[in-house]
A and B are shown apart, each in its own frame.
Chain A
Amino acid sequence: MSDLSSNAALFAPRSGPLARAVDWIIRHPRMFVFLLVLPITLWLGIVYIGALIALLIQSFFSIDEFSGVVVHEFTLKTYGELLRPYNLDIILRTVAMAASVTIAAAILAFPIAYFAARYAKGKWKALFYVGVMLPLWSSYLVKVYAWKLVLAKEGILNWIFAKLHLTWLLDGFLSLPVIGGNSLSVSYIGTFLVFLYIWLPYMIIPVQAALERVSKDLTEAASDLGATPRQNFRMVLLPLALPGVVAGSIFTFSLTLGDYIVPQIVGNSRLFIGQAVYTQQGTAGNIPLAAAFTVVPIVIMGIYLWGARKMGAFDAL
């Protein structure tokens, strides 16, 4: 072995300002952690949270109806405005859309995630991975654009229905009250399909991650104890995958709540929260009302995140 090592029990501290600074940090682990989290605290805690709070404060101001100028006085008037039937409709419509997209995404995601986690091996596993990651990371606008191509009157979906002589079915579907419309691209069905498509990968990934973590031993133990495949699914697999579903629903729900581009491009003229915020702060110039509108998703997501945390869904992210 080397003869270069000294026989001292302790070595002399290294010299140089950097070495001394590092030695000092290592002797003060709390200081080290403090320095590590200082940048993020400044960035998110001050810039981001600061901006959020400033926005929320503005929701307690109101706009002078004659001059259109923001009155910097505390009032709940703007929240009163938020609860008018017209605005309340917007909120309910958005929440209903977010909920149905979330439920549909969970139902559609489960078999994909389950198959990919349990049965797909080798190149099939890679195919499923890429098949989910590709649409997840493809440009949001490109995906919306793709659906504009799909849903267009002269587009592929109408063409398929025509070729299969099923145009009557599509027309029947579109003539349904509320969800129907003149064509797919100006109906709630269209909006729903695009939302579902765009957010589906956000559901698949956490569900798959949760399912991957369910060890095969557990389902084997359950069937050993006499559970039928159906019972096994309901009593073992589903409860263990639930945190993944909840984690995924954070995304699908939140992203639908705040989106203003999809309903603008594929949908009818009825507004969603995102559009209302956009028009209130932009063309209408009513920042207090726009701010009050943003409080709705914040409150909904706050409750949602709190519940998700209780369920341990953050570990499945």
Chain B
Amino acid sequence: MHSDNRSPLALKLAAFGGLFFLLAPIALIFLYAFSTEEKSFQWPPPGYTLKWIGVTLGRADVWEAMALSVKVAAISTILALILGTLTAAAVARSKFFGRETISLLVILPIALPGIITGISLRSAFSLLDIPFSTWTIVLGHATFCIVIVYNNAVARFRRTSGALIDAAMDLGADGVQTFRLVILPNIATALLAGGMLAFALSFDEVIVTTFTAGNQTTLPIWMLEELVRPRQRPVTNVVAMAVVLVTVLPILAAYYLTKDGEHTAGSDK
């Protein structure tokens, strides 16, 4: 609508204002991690120190919570990768009875509020007398991680021309060779990206986890307790910063992976 490529000033202001709204609170986290103030959220911080980083690194409860979160996220990601990829292959490659239902089923765990997933799993566990364990947390996490992998994989499968698979088989590659030599190299980056996002999602999840963890403490649950009843603000500040870093790095990596994939995975059209 504008023949030149310059945007109207009002649009520019609104866009950058919105971006500021999105990023400023996160920047604040980084500042507070170095604040010398212990008892309140005083702004501007009265002084800056590296002391709390050391204190946090020495805290066993933080490390234990972190270890549990990593373990849960790793297992959930692997499960989600397997289930999500298989489903994406079926949905993207063929039309079958129930295909619509399955694509709806996959997005249901994130389309419905997390509290519903949480409470229904919890009541199912109690009905079936299943004790809380790492696996009960994983069960919940994998359920909503599947859709992340699925979305990435289905998009790549759709972009990867079906003729490539035909071509491989036509040239004499059997099913296993076709998968190894043609399908996998074409979807690998999408799976890696989906896996990283799933990991970040699981690492961060709290709503479902409160229902499926029993008295185990993942890092988000540790933080939630601090939010409800602040006891050690400086340590919480540092943990918050660490969590941002742990989740952001895979996301940036995933971005670069999928960005390149757009050029290599398409058909030759």
A interface vs B, CB < 8 Å?
Answer: 11, 14, 18-19, 22-23, 25-26, 29-30, 33, 36-37, 39-41, 43-45, 47-52, 54-55, 58, 108-109, 111-112, 114-116, 118-119, 127-135, 137-150, 152, 154-156, 159, 197, 200-201, 219-220, 222-223, 227, 229, 232-233, 237, 250-251, 254-255, 257-261, 264-265, 274, 277-278, 281, 287, 290-291, 294, 297-298, 301, 305, 314, 317
CB closest chain-A residue, reference B227: A265
Q: A108-B21, A138-B26 are in contact. Are A250 and B122 (CB under 8 A)?
A: no
Q: Check B29 against A54 for contact (C-beta < 8 Å).
A: no
Give CA–CA (A281, B126) in the complex, Å. Answer: 12
Q: Check B21 against A197 for contact (C-beta < 8 Å).
A: yes
Q: Check B139 against A47 for contact (C-beta < 8 Å).
A: yes
Cβ of B52 within 8 Å of any chain A Cβ, yes or no, is: no
Q: Check B26 against A146 for contact (C-beta < 8 Å).
A: yes
Which of B28, B105, B252 is close to A146, meaning CB atoms less than 8 Å apart?
A: B28
Q: Check A260 against B207 for contact (C-beta < 8 Å).
A: yes
Residues on A with C-beta less than 8 A from B86 are: 36-37, 39-40
What's the minimum C-beta distance from A200 to chain B, rounded to whole angstroms?
7
Q: Check A112 against B112 for contact (C-beta < 8 Å).
A: no
Which of A18, A111, A131, A237 is close to B11, meaning CB atoms less than 8 Å apart?
A: A111
Q: Check B220 against A134 for contact (C-beta < 8 Å).
A: no
What's the minimum C-beta distance from A37 to chain B, rounded to whole angstroms?
5
Residues on B with C-beta less than 8 A from A148 are: 41, 227
Residues on B with C-beta less than 8 A from A36 are: 86-87, 89-90
- Other 17 A-B pairs with CB < 8 A, given A149-B28, A254-B112, A314-B103: A11-B172, A33-B96, A40-B106, A47-B143, A48-B109, A48-B143, A111-B18, A112-B19, A115-B11, A137-B197, A145-B236, A148-B41, A159-B44, A197-B25, A255-B114, A297-B116, A301-B111
Residues on A with C-beta less than 8 A from B109 are: 44, 48
Cβ of B215 within 8 Å of any chain A Cβ, yes or no, is: no
Consensus secondary structure, chain B interface: helix
Q: Check A142 against B251 for contact (C-beta < 8 Å).
A: no
Give CA–CA (A223, B176) in the complex, Å. Answer: 53
What's the minimum C-beta distance from A203 to chain B, rounded to whole angstroms?
11
CB closest chain-B residue, reference A304: B111
Contact with A along B41-57 (1 / 0, CB 8 A): 11110000000000000
Give CA–CA (A178, B24) in the complex, Å. Answer: 28
Cβ of B267 within 8 Å of any chain A Cβ, yes or no, is: no
Residues on B with C-beta less than 8 A from A197 are: 21-22, 25
Give CA–CA (A18, B114) in the complex, Å. Answer: 41
Residues on A with C-beta less than 8 A from B15 are: 111-112, 114-116, 128
Q: Check A25 against B175 for contact (C-beta < 8 Å).
A: yes
CB closest chain-A residue, reference B40: A154
Q: A134-B26, A145-B227, A298-B112 are in contact. Are A51 and B124 (CB under 8 A)?
A: yes
Inter-chain residue pair count (beta carbon < 8 A): 277
Which of B1, B18, B201 is close to A232, meaning CB atoms less than 8 Å apart?
A: B1
CB closest chain-A residue, reference B221: A141
Which of B1, B87, B102, B255 is close to A130, meaning CB atoms less than 8 Å apart?
A: B255
Q: A36-B86, A135-B26 are in contact. Are A51 and B112 (CB under 8 A)?
A: no
Cβ of B232 within 8 Å of any chain A Cβ, yes or no, is: no
Q: Check B106 against A142 for contact (C-beta < 8 Å).
A: no
A-B contact pairs, 13 of them (CB 8 A): A37-B96, A41-B102, A43-B83, A44-B108, A54-B124, A139-B247, A145-B223, A149-B25, A152-B43, A232-B1, A254-B112, A274-B113, A281-B119
CB closest chain-A residue, reference B109: A48
Give CA–CA (A49, B248) in the complex, Å. Answer: 32
Give CA–CA (A143, B82) in the complex, Å. Answer: 31
CB closest chain-A residue, reference B44: A159
Q: A37-B90, A55-B120 are in contact. Are A145 and B29 (CB under 8 A)?
A: yes
Residues on A with C-beta less than 8 A from B142 are: 43
Residues on A with C-beta less than 8 A from B264 are: none
Residues on A with C-beta less than 8 A from B12 are: 115, 119
3 tightest A-B contacts by CB? A258-B113, A115-B15, A111-B14
Q: Check A119 against B7 for contact (C-beta < 8 Å).
A: yes
